Structure formats: C-alpha cells, structure tokens
Amino acid sequence: MSTVILEGKKVSKKFGALKAVWRVDFQVRQGEILGIIGPNGAGKTTLLSMINGTETLSEGEIFFKREKISGLKPFRIAEKGISRTFQVVKPFPGMTLLENVAIGALFGKDKIGNAKIAQEKTREILDRVNLGGKADVAVENLNISERKRLELARALAMDPELILMDEVMAGLNRAELDLIMELIQNLNKEGRTIVLIEHVMRAIMGVSQRIIVIHHGKKIAEGTPEEIKNNDDVISAYLGARYAKMRGRNAEG
Amino acid sequence: MLKAENVNAGYGDVQILWDMNMEVEEHSITALIGSNGVGKTTFIRTVAGALQPFNGKISFMGEDITHLPQTRRTRMGIMMVPEGRQLYSGLTVEDNLMMGAYIRKDREKIRRDLDWIYTVMPRLKERRKQIAGTLSGGEAQMCAISRGLMASPKLLMLDELSLGLAPVLVDDLTKILKKIHTDWDITIILVDQDVQTALEIADRGYVMVEGHVEMSDSSEKLLKNEEIRRAYMGM
C-alpha cells in the first residue's frame, strides 16, 4: 500500500453550537484521487478549508507528509505543496489570465523571482488546461467552463503535490465535464494527489479511486465507488432512511 | 396542466437545467426527486417565475407562461412554498396566512378557507395570534403550506416538505397533504430528499440527474426500481 501523504485526526469545526465537522479521521494516500461526497451542508467545504488553512480547527490535527500543518497560515500550507480551488471562483479582476496564474508562480512554493521565467511557466500551465489561446484575455471575458479551468491553472502554478478541488464541475455541460475529468486524470497520472468534492455523481464516482462520505459533519462511509454505492448508510443519507429500510426489507423478502 | 419543454435555466452563466422536460396532469400529486444539486429547486423556481429560463417553453393550462412575470403566474394559480418556509417571522400566524390571500377579493371564501385550515390544523388555530418566528419546525411548515393554500392555487409546489423534521411530524404533514389533495381542487408538485415519503404521497415520480429528467414512472413502480439508486449514485 502506498504511503499516506495527508492525515487528519479527529478533525472538528464548530460554528457556535453547530458541529459543522465532527471528529473526522481521514487518510489520503500518495498518488490517489479521493472523492468527498455528502448531501448539502454536510461539511465538505469546511473540511477542505481546514486542510488548506482557510478555516482553523476547533479540535484535532492535520498532518502533511507526517508534518503537522493544522495551525499554520494558508500561505505556509500552500508553500508546503497543497493547492486548492474554490467553489465560487474569484479570479483577480482587471487582469489577464496570464497575470492571474503568474501570481501563483511568482509567490508560490517555488517563488520564481524572475517575471520572465514565471511567464513561460504560466503559458505552459495555461496550455495544459486548454486556455493557452486566451493567455492575454481579461478574466472578465471567460465563460464558466473557462473560469473553472483558470481556477485549476492558478492552483497548478504553485506546482503542488496535493490539489484540493471544490466543485470544479458544477454548471458544466457534458463536453466540458469530459474535458475537465480528463484533465484531472492527467494531473493524477503525473503523480499529483487529488482530493475533490463534487455533486456530479457520475463524474466523481467515475474518477475517484476511493470515496469518503460526510453527512451532518461526520464520516459515515469510506471505500471504493463500488462499495459506496451499495452502502446502506450512504443510501440512507441520500435517499432517506425510510427508503433504505424498505429497500433492505424488499431484498430480504 | 403543466408542461415544460426543453427548459434550460441557471444562474448567470452557470447552467443548472439542461433540456428539462416534464408533464404534470391536473389533480395529480407528482414527486420530483434526485440527488442534491441536480436542479429540482431551480426547476420549480422557473415554473413559479422566480427565475427566467435561458430558453425552452413552459405552459400552464394550455397557455404559454414562459415569459410571464411571477405576479401574473401567482394570479393564474401557481404557488410555490419555498424551502426553509420563509415565513414573515415578525407577523402573527394569522397575518402570515392572510398575506397568502393578498391577491384575492372573495372575502367569504377566504374566511371559509381559513376555517378549513384551522379545522385540519388546530395547532395553527391555537397559535393564530402568536408571532410566526416562535413556531416549531413542524408548525412553521404547516403555516407555510397554509399560506400557500390561502392564495387558492391550482398548482401548489412544495420544496423540501420533510427537511429537518422528526418522522412523526412528517407523518402528520403527509396526512395533511393528502387531505388538502382530497378537499381542494388542486394539483401538487412535491420536491423532497426523502424518496420513500415523497413517492408514497405521490401518484407519479420524476427522477432528476444532472439537470434533466432521467426517468419517470408511477410511484409504485419507481419504489420497486433499483434504477433510482443508480441515478442517485451515478453508477
């Protein structure tokens, strides 16, 4: 079994009395694609935010390559090799794609001080996400599919070992969806570990090697997509407890 | 009574509905189910007129309503009870209910409808002078449904009837909904994350996947069909 690159122990987040994420233990293995699913408000994005440091933990610890990262500032965590994308994409307005991505290259993990080298690297990255032709276009002129891929490009500019993706597929049509799924698989093939949150079930079940299911802030299941789709607790969370119960009864009878 | 043809809709350039098609028969109860994020709420908001579709056609009682404003649709008898109830929390229960009848002028009938509500839901009668913000979840849901009824709609669309409510309250609401369906000249569309409850109430169910209807059948057949689980899980 491959080594664990990211580990969470009893990771918890309370907002007042609300336990948004509660004592979640998780492990991400080097080189895998791990999917996180769960009904609306389950705590998926909060979990992601605690990993990259944009939310603090109420309890628990997170380790990246055996080093404790919980408690560090987001930019420190980014420097260690963890990038993330945001569900609501907010590129720097008034700037071109190239400038948006170059910021990550200039100030990220590698801190490429040289603007020219950063630019070259940025063009390569934009090519990778099929945005090479739009490098000098202002970000305001992008459609949703392009904005999602720009978000990925910005994350890639840091040359991360681990990429956290928050709903990069929402709002895309089938062709755009296939494009981004292929992109994710290619990034994974070159050795990057990927953790992604997604509501488009066909996509996440297809692309992930393992799935973690969060419901009401707790981890209720973990396994391969095949195991997850047959898991009673998951069916109960998604289709309702009564449906899961009746289904079990029908299966017995 | 209601027909949606190739409706495409969304927010800004984020498209949620992709060629959504649905037909609802008069006097039926139709369940609209599907995993989170597939576009159930977006669809009923588009029918109610809270959201303008990019393209496609929506007809109601044979009339093209695609471009009518929400106020016109309300007068035609289309009413939506939104998720989270959205009561006027500072008004009393009775004032909330009367706000539902805002567009009506038939005072006597309004009085009779209010009496019907108070007979079927005595809890609302007990609390009619109480501020709506102090209601329990189940009472608030009853109040929201009743406010919708007070508009005397032909089509009542309920978004997440059972969300966050204890099973015993869901049973109560199920009975109330069935009584509404028997006593009122009304068609109901029910969106609910609890598949069993929704299909037990409804005659027919539509299962949505990625912004369109993936399958539809009688509720009875859908409940026996393993394809629902596949549609939810994407495999």
Q: Is residue A29 part of a domain?
A: yes
Please name the helix (run of DSSP H) or strand (run of DSSP E) that holds residue A215, with its range, or none. Answer: strand A210-215
Is A240 within 8 Å of chain B by CB?
yes
Domain boundary among B151, B184, B209: B151
Q: Taking all residues of chain A, what is their mean pLDDT, rounded to a whole number?
A: 92
Of residues B36 and B46, more confidence is placed in B46
Chain-chain contact of A242 with B197 (C-beta, under 8 angstroms): yes
Tens-digit pLDDT profile for residues B45-61: 999 999 999 999 999 99
- Give how far Cα A113 sits from Cα of A43, A119, A124, A136, B163, Å: 38, 11, 17, 21, 53
Domain that holds residue B35: 1-77+153-235
Beta-carbon contacts of B86 under 8 Å, excluding residues fewer than 6 positions away, are: B144
Q: Is residue A243 part of a domain?
A: yes
Number of domains present in the structure of chain A? 1
Packing angle, helices A174-189 and A144-156, rounded to 10: 10
ipTM above threshold 0.90: no
Tens-digit pLDDT profile for residues B144-164: 999 999 999 999 999 998 888
pLDDT at residue B140 in the model: 94
Q: Is residue A114 part of a domain?
A: no
pTM of the model: 0.86
Domain that holds residue A203: 4-90+161-252
Could you say which DSSP state residue B92 is in?
B
Q: Is residue A46 part of a domain?
A: yes
Give me the amino acid identity at A62: I
In this structure, the answer to whether residues B133 and B160 fall within a common structural domain is no
In this structure, the answer to whether residues B72 and B164 fall within a common structural domain is yes
Chain B residues in contact with A240 by the CB 8 A cut-off are: 193-197
Least Cα separation, residue A250 to chain B (angstroms): 8
Number of domains present in the structure of chain B? 2
In this structure, the answer to whether residues B182 and B235 fall within a common structural domain is yes
Instruction: Out of B38, B209, B229, name the one closest to residue A235 (CB).
Output: B229
Q: Is residue A215 part of a domain?
A: yes
In this structure, the answer to whether residues B141 and B207 fall within a common structural domain is no
Sheet containing B212-218: give its strands across. Answer: B78-81, B155-159, B187-191, B29-33, B204-209, B212-218
Instruction: Return the residue of B nearest to A211 by Cα.
Output: B233
Categorize the per-residue pLDDT at A253 as very low, low, confident or very high, splitting at 50, 70 and 90. Answer: very low
Instruction: Out of A40, A228, A235, name the one closest to residue B36 (CB).
Output: A40
Residue A24's SS3 state is: strand
CATH number at residue B11: 3.40.50.300
Categorize the per-residue pLDDT at A110 as very low, low, confident or very high, splitting at 50, 70 and 90. Answer: low
Tens-digit pLDDT profile for residues A122-134: 999 999 999 999 9
Of residues A174 and B47, more confidence is placed in B47
In this structure, the answer to whether residues B157 and B93 fall within a common structural domain is no
In this structure, the answer to whether residues B99 and B12 fall within a common structural domain is no
Please name the helix (run of DSSP H) or strand (run of DSSP E) that holds residue B208, with its range, or none. Answer: strand B204-209
Instruction: Return the residue of A nearest to B212 by Cα.
Output: A173
Domain boundary among B127, B151, B175: B151
Q: How many Å apart are CA A17 and CA A2, to the nearest integer? A: 38
Among A70-84, A92-106, B55-69, the least confident range: A92-106
Least Cα separation, residue B102 to chain A (angstroms): 34
Tens-digit pLDDT profile for residues A46-68: 999 999 999 999 999 999 999 99
Categorize the per-residue pLDDT at B212 as very low, low, confident or very high, splitting at 50, 70 and 90. Answer: very high
